[in-house]
Amino acid sequence: MKNTTLQLTSFYYRIFFVASFLLLQSFISYSQTSGVLDITFGDTGTFTTAFGPQYDVPQGLIIQPDGKIVVSGTAGTIDGTVTNLVLIRLNPDGTYDTSFGEDGIASVDLGISQFVEQSIPLAIQDDGKLVTVLHKKNGDYYDYAAIRFNTDGTLDTSFDGDGIAEQDVFYQNDFPTAVAIQSNGKILVYGTGTSGSFYKIGLVRFNSDGSLDESFSIDGQFIYDFGYGDNSSSDVHVLPDGKIMLAGYAAMDGTSRDVFAIKLNEDGSFDTSFGEDGIAVFAISVYFDFCGSSFIKEDGKILFCGSITPGSGDYDPFALQINADGTMDTSFGTDGITVIDLGDRPDYGRFITEQSDGKILITGYNDQFDTIKCVVIRLNEDGSLDNTFGTEGKTIFSTGNPDYRGEAMAIQNDGKILVTGWNRAGTIGGGGLSFEWSVSRFTTSTPVAIQSINELSITLYPNPVSDNLIIQVPDVNTKYTLQIVNSNGELISEQIINHTSYKTISVQHLPSGFYFLQLKNENENYVMPFQKL
């Protein structure tokens, strides 16, 4: 007996199939803009967590080979009495991996009694162990600390006896900001510190067991001072040939700060083939240039991001590209530089990376006076804004809270973009602000939306689809009947959507081909085609 609930005959479906197929291909061809929040991750696109009414700040992010996500940062009380190092591990869908640490969370008390906003980077060894760095209390001052975790989130006690290797570099306050692991398992820790009036940069190398490698540079430490004021560290990279690249920014005279790169040989000596005797300095503006991070490309070129100020209090994100020899790559942007103007308020570039297709991603934050929003920017290989991403190359978003600062980024194997940062969760006693961790995920292609002819805001995506199909409806108070029909007009499945704006439907079991999704309520009947890959 023919199923009359479909309200459309099998013949009509065949006719509608042909027309819809052509329409679908048109949508696929013209709907490839990237930068859309992936609502299948976490809670409608964003995972958030807090460790109490505290100053919680995540600043490190990596993706393990198995697709799990590790985030590092700090959890500290507003009054500064406690700041702990924290790692969390998430499953690929944005839920806690409860096999890691305690219900997905690993925490270490390093005796820190003051909050310092700095990078808390992550590195992963070939054996899957995780290494991060932070400052550790030593009497009245702070030292470099490298902390190594086993794959289950416990401290690796084979590393310097307790999982924590410490080094007093500058004899006063030392603040590590970056970590990298060499092919022989040795660990590089890079940061800044002071033993006098100004901050210097310092690179330390530990053996794989956590002991200081005294064969590196001078007694295991490379220290440099440009001599004009404070020096600030950004990150450290191990190059394919084993040489080492440092990035940061420093005072070069009494009125400006410039971006720098330093290249070292494996033993910690200057590689004099790079820049001028191993050092390259770049003045982007005439005032302050701040380096957020850097990235080494496969061709050896180096990307930097950060912020510049023209001196008016306005800060703009920038991208800078140099050649492998330390000279400016003038084929990129305008004479090697791209500046992104997001408005008249201070805006910051914090992290830069590259997609597999050579396009460049930057995350940071956009100050909109009454709120701060996370920003993701995509550039073409030549440094121009990629207008197929977000709105004119930029996606600016928040979690609904007043502030969201993007700090780090990683790209999944499927091309989706992960961003971590901290956002304001509210206020606590005394009017202090409370911040929480966030991880957001973005697609690299816009969901293909096929609207009904009366322009009801129903959205179906992704389309084509391989596993999960998402339907978005405008009225959560309306009950809908949802049916999937094949191209012969045969009913495949039926379910109810009730009191929700999003519904995820598994189509993994369907053979490849073209189908129709029919959505009905008491008054209307809508049919939308989709392709199962």
Percentage of the chain surpassing pLDDT 70?
82
What's the Cα-to-Cα distance from 163 to each of 110, 209, 360, rounded to whole Å? 12, 9, 36
| pLDDT top residue among 343 and 271 | 271
* Secondary structure percentages of the chain, helix, strand, coil, to 5: 5, 50, 45
Among 46, 31, 42, 154, smallest CA distance to 102 is for 154
| pLDDT for residue 484 | 87
Q: What is the mean pLDDT of residues 515-529?
A: 75
**Model pLDDT for residues 44-95, shown as the tens digit of each residue:** 789 999 886 667 888 899 999 999 999 999 887 656 566 788 999 999 999 9
Q: Is the pLDDT of residue 30 over 90?
A: no
Whole-prediction pTM value? 0.78
| Range from 72-76, 82-86, 269-273, 389-393 that averages highest in pLDDT | 269-273
| pLDDT for residue 247 | 98
Neighbours of 474 (CB within 10 A): 10
Q: Is the pLDDT of residue 126 over 90?
A: yes
**DSSP helix/strand/coil, 522:** coil
Under DSSP, the state recorded for 152 is T
**Model pLDDT for residues 313-340, shown as the tens digit of each residue:** 688 999 999 999 999 999 999 999 999 9
All domains of the chain in start order, with CATH? 4-31+451-532 (2.60.40.3080), 123-414 (2.120.10)
Mean pLDDT check: name the lowest of 42-56, 297-311, 356-370, 437-451: 437-451
CA distance 513 to 17: 11
Q: Find the helix or strand (DSSP H, E) in which 281 lies.
A: strand 279-282
Q: Is the bond leading into 462 cis (omega within 30 degrees of zero)?
A: yes
How does residue 139 score in pLDDT terms, banded at 50, 70 and 90? confident
Q: Is the pLDDT of residue 500 over 90?
A: no
Structure tokens given for 287: 């005032």
Among 85, 46, 86, 91, smallest CA distance to 64 is for 91
**Model pLDDT for residues 432-486, shown as the tens digit of each residue:** 567 889 999 998 864 433 333 334 457 777 888 888 888 877 665 677 788 888 7
| pLDDT for residue 480 | 79
